[in-house]
Amino acid sequence: MTGSSPDEALRQELAALRLSIAEHNRCYYVLDDPVVSDAQYDRLMSRLLEIERAFPELLVPESPSQRVGAAPLAAFATVRHAQPMLSLSNAFESEDVRAFDKRVCDTLLEAGLLRAGELAEYEAEFKFDGLAISLRYEQGRLVQAATRGDGRTGEDVTHNIRTLRSVPLVLKGGYPEVLEVRGEVLINRRDFERLNQAQQERGEKIFVNPRNAAAGSLRQLDSGVTATRPLRFFAYSWGEIEGAGRSGLAGLPNEAVRAAPCATHAQMLDWFERMGLPVDQSRRVLKGAEGLLEFYRDVGARRADLPFDIDGVVYKVNALAAQEVLGYVARAPRFALAHKFPAQEETTLLLDIDVQVGRTGAITPVARLKPVFVGGVTVANATLHNEDEVRRKDVRVGDTVIVRRAGDVIPEVVGPVLEQRPPGTTPFIMPKNCPVCDSAIERLEDEAASRCTGGLFCAAQRKQSILHAAGRKALDIEGLGEKLVDQLVDSGRIKSLADLFALNADELADYDRMGRKSALNLIEAIDQARRPALSRLLFALGIRHVGETTARDAARHFGSMQAIMAADEASLLAVRDVGPVVAHSIARFFAEPHNREVINALAQAGVQALAVDEPTGQRLDGKTLVLTGSLPNWSRDEAARRILAAGGKVSASVSKKTSYVVAGADAGSKLTKAQELGVAVIDEAGLMALLDA
């Protein structure tokens, strides 16, 4: 191709390629709905590059090939916004929203834009937690992009914005002569995690949150760097608009609004969308304060599931004519309101870093914080995971730290506010000895965790292993909580799991916070646990690397505890999905004399795994049944065994979570309770039907 001059056919092919690639970008990055495969897209792109390389004179800045970044800048130029970039008034309470709506209605009534008794109409959308950007299009071409700055002047980031594939370089038809689009640049949470991971691997700066990462990525002099960052853009407003025809709101003082072929904010955003700009799909047109509050609640409930961070919602009076009448105060429009969610990030003081000992001896550093209200709850503790994590974040006692709690996720310490670090702080050092049993703490080379080497000598490990064994997925002993286990272990009453089965109600009732009734319930729950499915008993032992699934596979494979205990590593490898590490761990566990003793002691205490481990079906999977009264044919044990074998659970007490109460003759208070709570009550025949179903 080189050497000759481009003929008309080639020019046309080039134009068609550019259009089609731009359209595919829009489908992929704006609509989230690609219509071609990556390979097809790549073919179009390489053909485009081929032509542009052969005929550099045909290169234009709007070409989709120009998204890879340009030569680095020496400094950012300043840009004066044609129309100032405003801020929003904030509301935190429902009352603020009602007051806003009332002010709007009063003004619109007076101006004759609303009738008495009529509700005001609003457009409601997300308040994106990113960076405000203004994009300037002239004759449909992106000519400038600027940050908000102080609202009047910002920084020229055109070279960087060009690399965002969701920002059209050329608008689709129906655009005005000049259009300033306002919107937000942000990074999806998942992309943010990936970016940070990559940054860490390269030993580069870790960003504290997606907004920070978006800001850092946009304020790059080298747009080649920005091009590698997963930035997204959403349009939500506008600045200057010139010459879109006079079909709009002729007669209004605002040039911008007059130029637009729209009468409402919602129509403006629809128009933006038609021009190929990304606009979020959660926007709604609503009426009245209660409509707004419902939107707030709905979005609030979805907040944690959204792909990106939002810090609230924004309400805008929908009719542009009404916006005009309402006007502005100071730097914010009177026609709009930001309704903020409770902050998901706050700063507080890091008072101390403690270490906690887990079931397998793993030592977890825990941040003790000056209590802070964040994400709707008060947070005083947060896990720091492990030594490396504390080092990576470099949080130190005395630091002011950023604490984050998003949705129902456990709170985390994001990092220190370095500007506020007091003098004399020191980096965290993992203690050499266990804070509970004083045994040495060791850290194996290829592991992130440090461990207490005390094993079951360590009271902390003993407590955790008993709690694990009593857990829902193991022996499922209801009513055996942390406080009681603390007391039982600290008093020396319980040394191993087997001791649990020797407890009686009288002695239990003497412990703190134990009434007679809860003691009796607990004894009954412990009694029920004497007939566990083999897989549950195996899981309850807390063998390293043996989770629920492995326990189930091993139980199915061997059929009895004796067989598993007798198995060597080679035979263990025959279990589905069991590799050398797991096989070794199981064999080592059972080779340990004190572990064999615990199992013997369990057998002595009457704990015997059910031979039928594998539920004959999963007919009662996830169901909890309570037995009460005497059944005509089956003993209670027999009924319980069959329920367990069908994948169900048997509980000693009735609650809202109970699936069925099986009532026999002389059923007592459990039957009454079931009727009160509206729990289904069946008889033995009903149970048999369930089991056969």
Q: Which H or E run includes 48?
A: helix 38-54
Closer residue to ligand IVH, CB minimum distance, 136 or 536: 136
* 104 exposure class (CB count in 10 Å sphere: 0-12, 13-18, 19+): buried
Rounded-to-10 torsion of CA 368, 369, 374, 377: 60
Instruction: Tell me the three state secondary structure of residue 338.
Output: strand
Phi, psi for residue 198 in degrees, rounded to 5: -65, -40
Half-sphere exposure of 74 (CA within 13 A, CB side): 0
Residue of this chain nearest to ligand IVH (CB atom): 132
The one among 207, 236, 296, 308 contacting ligand IVH by CB under 6 A: 236
According to the binding rule CB under 6 A, does residue 184 interact with ligand IVH? yes
According to the binding rule CB under 6 A, does residue 232 interact with ligand IVH? no
The nearest distance, CB 182 to ligand IVH, in angstroms, is 6
Q: Among the candidate windows 44-52, 126-134, 154-162, 216-224, which touches ligand IVH by CB under 6 A? A: 126-134
The nearest distance, CB 89 to ligand IVH, in angstroms, is 8
Give me the residues paired with residue 412 across strands.
Answer: 383, 404
CB 29 within 8 A of CB 67: no
The one among 145, 164, 257, 314 contacting ligand IVH by CB under 6 A: 314
According to the binding rule CB under 6 A, does residue 268 interact with ligand IVH? no
The nearest distance, CB 311 to ligand IVH, in angstroms, is 8
According to the binding rule CB under 6 A, does residue 128 interact with ligand IVH? yes
Residues serving a catalytic function are: 127
Closer residue to ligand IVH, CB minimum distance, 86 or 221: 86
Structure tokens at 368: 């003790």
* 54 exposure class (CB count in 10 Å sphere: 0-12, 13-18, 19+): middle
According to the binding rule CB under 6 A, does residue 122 interact with ligand IVH? no
The one among 18, 24, 81, 148 contacting ligand IVH by CB under 6 A: 148
The one among 24, 127, 162, 404 contacting ligand IVH by CB under 6 A: 127
DSSP of 277-314, one letter per residue? ----TT-EEEEHHHHHHHHHHHHHHHGGGSSS-EEEEE
Q: Among the candidate windows 81-89, 409-417, 544-552, 575-583, which touches ligand IVH by CB under 6 A? A: 81-89
The pairing of strands 328-329 and 90-91 is unpaired
According to the binding rule CB under 6 A, does residue 187 interact with ligand IVH? no
The one among 319, 336, 469, 583 contacting ligand IVH by CB under 6 A: 336
State the Cα–Cα distance between residues 387 and 442, nearest whole angstrom. 12
According to the binding rule CB under 6 A, does residue 453 interact with ligand IVH? no
According to the binding rule CB under 6 A, does residue 132 interact with ligand IVH? yes
DSSP of 398-415, one letter per residue? T-EEEEE--TTSPPEEEE
According to the binding rule CB under 6 A, does residue 241 interact with ligand IVH? no
Residues touching ligand IVH: how many (CB under 6 A)?
16
The one among 263, 338, 349, 612 contacting ligand IVH by CB under 6 A: 338
Q: Among the candidate windows 84-92, 164-172, 549-557, 632-640, which touches ligand IVH by CB under 6 A? A: 84-92
Sign of CA dihedral 287, 267, 337, 284: positive
Q: Residue 653's Cα: distance from chain center in Å?
A: 35
State the Cα–Cα distance between residues 367 and 395, nearest whole angstrom. 9
According to the binding rule CB under 6 A, does residue 86 interact with ligand IVH? yes
CB 397 within 8 A of CB 351: yes
Q: Among the candidate windows 108-116, 125-133, 156-164, 556-564, which touches ligand IVH by CB under 6 A? A: 125-133
Sheet holding 680-682: strands in order across? 649-651, 624-628, 660-663, 680-682
According to the binding rule CB under 6 A, does residue 237 interact with ligand IVH? yes
Q: Which H or E run includes 450?
A: strand 450-452
According to the binding rule CB under 6 A, does residue 175 interact with ligand IVH? no
The nearest distance, CB 147 to ligand IVH, in angstroms, is 10
The nearest distance, CB 321 to ligand IVH, in angstroms, is 16
Closer residue to ligand IVH, CB minimum distance, 279 or 599: 279
The nearest distance, CB 183 to ligand IVH, in angstroms, is 8
Closer residue to ligand IVH, CB minimum distance, 326 or 640: 326
Angle CA 273–277–278, to nearest 5:
90
Closer residue to ligand IVH, CB minimum distance, 258 or 265: 265
Please tell me what DSSP assigns to residue 422.
P
According to the binding rule CB under 6 A, does residue 360 interact with ligand IVH? no
Nearest CA-CA partner of 654 in 666, 662, 664, 646: 662
According to the binding rule CB under 6 A, does residue 82 interact with ligand IVH? no
The nearest distance, CB 151 to ligand IVH, in angstroms, is 8
Nearest CA-CA partner of 367 in 391, 392, 343, 390: 390
According to the binding rule CB under 6 A, does residue 607 interact with ligand IVH? no
3-state secondary structure 139-177: CCEEEEEEECCCCCEEEECHHHHCCCCCCCCECCCCCCC
Q: Among the candidate windows 41-49, 123-131, 343-351, 605-613, which touches ligand IVH by CB under 6 A? A: 123-131
Q: Among the candidate windows 15-23, 122-130, 395-403, 526-534, which touches ligand IVH by CB under 6 A? A: 122-130
Binding site for ligand IVH (CB under 6 A): 86-88, 125-128, 132, 148, 184, 236-237, 314, 333, 336, 338
